[in-house]
Structure formats: C-alpha cells, structure tokens
C-alpha cells in the first residue's frame, strides 16, 4: 500500500511520512531529475534535498516536470532543503535561502533546515573548507554560536519558508538552542535505523514538540542491516523486502527519507505495511547486540550525543 500518512508539526502544518532523499544523487545524466519524477509518479509527496548535495537545480526541475506529468499542484507536495555550514553567519542566511529557492524554482520551500550545528569559514568559497593540516576550517567569527544562525532563520519570510528546522542536533545542542529560540524547530532530521534507534533523542524531541525525520533509514551502502536475520524473518513473513520492513518500522517513530535513484526501488520503498507490536519490539531490540552510526563527519567540534 502506498504510504500517504502524514505527521502534524508543532505549528499545525503537516509533513508526509515518507520522502525521497537525494543525498549523493547526481545532477549528471538526469539521474536525480528522473528519480524525483519517478518518486512523484509513485506517490511520494515529500522531496528532500540540500545546498550541500549540489543538486537543488535538478531536483527543482524534476519537481516541476513531475508535478505536471502527475497532474499535481505545488501545494500537493512538501519540499525540504538545508542551509550549508559555510552560510551559517546571520548575514549570509537570507541570501543562502533565496539562492536555494531560486535554484529549486518552486515558489516556496516547505521546510528549511540548519544542516549541521557547525559553521565553516565562508571566505574560501569552498563547500567544505579545510585547513593546511586537513582539519575542517571552522568559522572563527561565529565561534560555534548556532543560536545566532537560528535567530536569522527565524526572520525568514514565512510565506517562502513555511517551516524551519534543524538536522543532526543532539539533546545537548537542542537544549542550548531552546534557551534563546523564539521558534521551536518544527523538525530535527537525524540518522535513525535499528542500529541507531536513538531512543533518548526521540523521547527528548517528543517532549519539546519537535518532529524527527530519519535519514539513512536503510543504513548506508553495503550495510549489514539489509542482511539482518530478524529483519529477514519479518520480511519473509509478510512477503516484503527488508527495505520495506525498515521503512514501515521507521514511520512508527517519525518520517523517513529513503534514498534511491532506481525507479523500481523508489516505487517499492513507499509501499509500507503494518507491523505487529511484537515485530516492532524485535526490531527495537536489534541495537542491543549491534549499534552503529554510519554518518559521522569529523567536524572538529562535538556534534552527536556520544561526543559530549
């Protein structure tokens, strides 16, 4: 069954339960363009991108053409993009947002997120500036004050940025942010899967009214998750793929962003089903014997809960 579930955010707006993630989906040879079009045709109503993915223009083209071909209107879908770490200075936030909107060319953005609680030096013009020793070139002017970046995001035109949120925020950093925020983030996009279920972070976000979206819900490329015995057993019992089990488990906790450019996998990833309480618990228990974070850039500052 094509999943058309939605979640209500803390401001009353809604977010679709399943999105097409586009990280590492290339602009070349129409790869991401075709993936976005096939996603909209398959029933997806949420497309997720970011300035740092380098594919906003082609994602936008895929959205515009995909809407026409599917007979949909702009308001029928939800689009997320993100503020890059080199644009974290308050003076750069508005232009960065407008640049993303211009590349996407889709009237407005449903969710604009701070991609990381990290600011990198914007002076070099490079997406990930490095120092001579190979470490990340942190923005000394901002000095890690992501609260100020958030303050600038709060000032964005609400008719163009319908919701604002964060990504990769730990409990520690959310507590810092909420001390000064006048707008509570609508969403925290984080790595979530059975190897990294992040029970405490989910519970904390729930207590603050922050919705959690899961990136890498299938693990990463060549992840052993897709060969896990518990997941294999459940998949076999329902005649489903392990990816469908993972996504169906994921939407019991929040929204999920599986990524694929394969039209058949794009289509099957949104065909979710209901798991029993026993099966959900069995999947929850996987992390008791195996825990793993797949996405862990060395920013040079603490980011994840286990780093504080």
Q: Which H, E and C letters describe the chain, residue by residue?
A: CECCCEEECCCCCEEECECEECCCCCCHHHHHHHHHHHHHHHCCCEEECCHHHCCHHHHHHHHHHHHHHHCCCHHHCEEEEEECHHHCCHHHHHHHHHHHHHHHCCCCEEEEEECCCCCECHHHCCCCCECCCCCECECCCCCCCHHHHHHHHHCCCCCCEEEEEEECCCHHHHHHHHHHCCCCCCEEEEECECCECCHHHHHHHHHCCCEEEEECECECCCCHHHHCHHHHHHHHHHCCCHHHHHHHHHCCCCEEECECCCHHHHHHHCECCCCCHHHHHHHHHHHHCCCCCCCCCCCCCCCCHHHC
The pLDDT assigned to 27 comes to 59
pLDDT band at 222 (very low <50, low <70, confident <90, very high): confident
pLDDT above 70 (res 25): no
Q: What is the mean predicted confidence (pLDDT) over 216-224?
A: 85
**Which tens digit of pLDDT belongs to each residue from 145-195?**
999 999 999 999 999 999 999 999 999 999 999 999 999 999 999 999 999
Whether 44 is a known active-site residue: answer no
The pLDDT assigned to 194 comes to 97
Catalytic annotation, pick one of 33, 53, 112, 204:
53
Q: Which of 15-29, 73-87, 169-183 has the lowest mean pLDDT?
A: 15-29
pLDDT band at 224 (very low <50, low <70, confident <90, very high): confident
Percent of the chain at pLDDT > 70 equals 98
Q: What is the mean predicted confidence (pLDDT) over 239-259?
A: 97
**Which tens digit of pLDDT belongs to each residue from 250-304?**
999 999 999 988 889 999 999 999 999 999 999 999 999 999 999 999 999 999 9
Phi/psi of residue 35, nearest 5 degrees:
-65, -45
The pLDDT assigned to 88 comes to 98
Q: What is the mean predicted confidence (pLDDT) over 68-97?
A: 98
pLDDT band at 28 (very low <50, low <70, confident <90, very high): low
The pLDDT assigned to 62 comes to 97
The pLDDT assigned to 29 comes to 67
∠ CA 273-274-277, nearest 5°, is 150
Q: What is the mean predicted confidence (pLDDT) over 43-70?
A: 97
**Which tens digit of pLDDT belongs to each residue from 197-206?**
999 999 999 9
The pLDDT assigned to 276 comes to 98
Q: What is the mean predicted confidence (pLDDT) over 128-139?
A: 96
The pLDDT assigned to 220 comes to 80
Strand order in the sheet with 109-114: 20-21, 46-48, 78-83, 109-114, 161-167, 187-191, 211-215, 255-257
């Amino acid at each position: 069954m094509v999943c058309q579930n939605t979640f209500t955010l803390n401001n009353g707006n809604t977010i679709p339960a399943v999105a097409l993630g586009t990280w590492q989906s290339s602009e070349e040879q129409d790869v991401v363009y075709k993936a976005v079009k096939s996603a909209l045709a398959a029933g997806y109503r949420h497309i997720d991108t970011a300035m740092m993915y380098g594919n906003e223009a082609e994602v936008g083209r895929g959205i515009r053409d995909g809407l026409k071909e599917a007979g949909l209107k702009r308001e029928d879908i939800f689009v997320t993009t993100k503020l890059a770490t080199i644009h974290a200075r308050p003076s750069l936030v508005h232009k960065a947002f407008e640049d993303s909107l211009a590349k996407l060319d889709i009237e407005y953005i449903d969710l604009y997120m701070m991609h990381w609680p990290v600011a990198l030096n914007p002076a070099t013009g490079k997406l990930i500036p490095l120092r001579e020793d190979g470490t990340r070139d942190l923005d000394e002017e901002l000095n890690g004050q992501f609260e100020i970046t958030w303050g600038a995001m709060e000032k964005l035109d609400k008719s163009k940025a319908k919701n604002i949120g964060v990504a990769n925020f730990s409990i520690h950093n959310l507590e810092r942010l909420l001390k000064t925020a006048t707008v509570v983030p609508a969403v925290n996009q984080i790595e979530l899967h059975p190897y990294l279920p992040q029970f405490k972070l989910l519970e904390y976000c729930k207590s603050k009214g922050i919705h959690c979206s899961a990136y890498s819900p299938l693990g990463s490329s060549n992840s052993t998750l897709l060969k896990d015995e518990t997941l294999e057993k459940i998949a076999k019992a329902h005649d489903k793929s392990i990816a469908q089990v993972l996504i169906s488990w994921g939407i019991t906790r929040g929204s999920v962003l599986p990524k694929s450019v394969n039209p058949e996998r794009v289509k099957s990833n949104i065909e979710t089903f209901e798991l029993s309480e026993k099966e959900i618990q069995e999947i929850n228990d996987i992390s008791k014997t195996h825990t793993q974070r797949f996405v862990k850039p060395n920013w040079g500052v603490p980011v994840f809960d286990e780093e504080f």
